Amino acid sequence: MNNIDSTRSKFFPNTRTDVTGTNAAKIKALQRNDSGRFNELKEMEKRDSSVSIPEAVKDFSRIRKAVDAAPETDNSEKIARLRDQIQNGTYKMDFEAIADKILKEEI
């Protein structure tokens, strides 16, 4: 092992340790904050760390829970029947029922 490798930190491979042996600045930087700074950080935390969830997100969550709780419906037979009617040209649209449904949705 050469001299350069012995000065490298084992935790951070691309950093070097203090070769002169004066690590006082590094040790002081690693010490915890004093009580004044601790209180300042606590005040900042109280002031800035609040979360508000919009009502739309809450509504979506409720809807999602209701959908997840609902039983699954297998409409594959109905879809196949409608597809066949459309392809054969035998599908008849009930325009009055469609209009009624649209009006009910609007009112």
Residue-wise pLDDT for 55-81, tens only, equals: 999 999 999 999 999 998 899 999 999
The residue type of 44 is M
> Other C-beta atoms within 10 Å of 24: how many?
9
Which residues of the chain have a pLDDT value below 70?
1-33
In a domain, 34, yes or no: yes
Residues 13 and 9: their CA atoms lie apart, in Å, by 6
CB of 53 within 8 A of CB of 45?
no
Residue in this structure with the two tokens 């009112």, named with its chain if needed: 107
Tokens matching residue 23:
């690590």
In a domain, 103, yes or no: no
Tokens matching residue 72:
């699954």
The tally of domains found in the chain comes to 1
In a domain, 9, yes or no: yes
In a domain, 19, yes or no: yes
> Which pTM was predicted?
0.33
